[in-house]
Amino acid sequence: MTKPRRVIPGLCYLITRRCSERRFFLRPDARVTHVFEYLLAVLATRYAIEVHAFVVMSNHYHLVITDTKGRLPDFQRDLNSELARALNFYWNRWESFWAPESYSAVELLEDGDRISKMAYTLANPVKARLVTRARRWEGATSAGMSFGRPRTIRRPEKFFGETMPETATLELTRPACTKTDDASFDARLRQDVRRREDAANERGGVMGMNNVMNQHWNDSPTSHEPRQVLRPRVAGKNKWARIAALQRSAAWLAAYAAARLAFVGGERDVEFPYGTWWMCARLGCEHAAAIV
């Protein structure tokens, strides 16, 4: 069972969503890439999501984003729902598209953690030994995009009606950084991506895009993927920042559990902790003010 999410405006996350049974429903066909990038552009604008990096692999995707308004659950609901509907139509299928567990959202605590997870995201196709360089991945990726240079994406034909915008703007922004200026950020990100590429290429052997595209969309990897029981909610190399974040999370979960117990017991004016999403957004419960 997924724990309740603490949704607070301004947090930066690494988001991961996996396809059902690891199948290649997101294989990097041109139409898959077009649909994903269009939806990302539309929904990031709709929910005030800042996009920092993204990559779509054949059976999962990664995003590094900042949730500026505390709308992450709405953004993920619509992105995953619209993707599933459009691509099920494309593949002429109708069963479950996504793995049964919910999306993973890992809070990135400090500048270095954001750079690290952005580099991890961009270099994912290289780590998987599909290509030798991040920019050679032909699926949806921000590896070839530049910060502050928006792209206009037209609405894909057949998948969406006229209620969806005819065009959408997809723009990368740098995450808010407290200790890193723009030039240093760019240099550190490029260096980290190259380091990951070089380390992966030392292992030799690469599938190449032709072989990737020759895989059937309903296939899945033959290799075993060990899945961790733990589902981390935060990522940070700074031990004390990580401990503080985990303590905040534990305190929030305890306060949420107490408020929910009172609510279930019939108390309707109970105040939930700041960051409660479902009970407040969907059921109209009150929440405490933000702690400044």
Q: Residue 149's domain is classified under what CATH number?
A: 3.30.70.1290
Digit-coded pLDDT (tens) for 138-160: 999 999 999 989 999 999 988 89
Number of compact structural domains in the chain: 2
Assess if residue 15 is contained within a domain: yes
Predicted TM-score of the model (pTM): 0.92
Q: Compute the distance between CA of residue 233 and CA of residue 248 in angstroms, rounded to an integer.
A: 11
- Evaluate whether 278 touches 256 at the Cβ level (below 8 Å): no
Q: Compute the distance between CA of residue 278 and CA of residue 276 in angstroms, rounded to an integer.
A: 6
Helix (H), strand (E) at residue 250: helix 239-264
3 state DSSP class of 82: helix
Overall average pLDDT of the 185-213 stretch: 94
Assess if residue 4 is contained within a domain: no
* Alpha-carbon distances of 83 from 19, 124, 139, 169, rounded to whole Å: 11, 21, 15, 18
Do 229 and 246 lie in one domain? The reply is no
3-state secondary structure 8-62: CCCEEEEEEEEEHHHCCCCCCCHHHHHHHHHHHHHHHHHCCEEEEEEEECCCEEE
pLDDT higher than 50, residue 110: yes
Do 261 and 221 lie in one domain? The reply is no
pLDDT higher than 60, residue 76: yes
Overall average pLDDT of the 133-137 stretch: 97
Helices 72-91 and 30-46: angle between axes, nearest 10 degrees = 160
How many residues does the structure list for the chain? 292
Q: Compute the distance between CA of residue 17 and CA of residue 80 in angstroms, rounded to an integer.
A: 8
Digit-coded pLDDT (tens) for 256-287: 999 999 999 998 888 999 999 888 887 888 88
- Evaluate whether 267 touches 279 at the Cβ level (below 8 Å): no
Do 56 and 145 lie in one domain? The reply is yes
Do 28 and 67 lie in one domain? The reply is yes
Range of the domain at 281: 241-287
Digit-coded pLDDT (tens) for 25-55: 999 999 999 999 999 999 999 999 999 999 9
Do 77 and 207 lie in one domain? The reply is yes
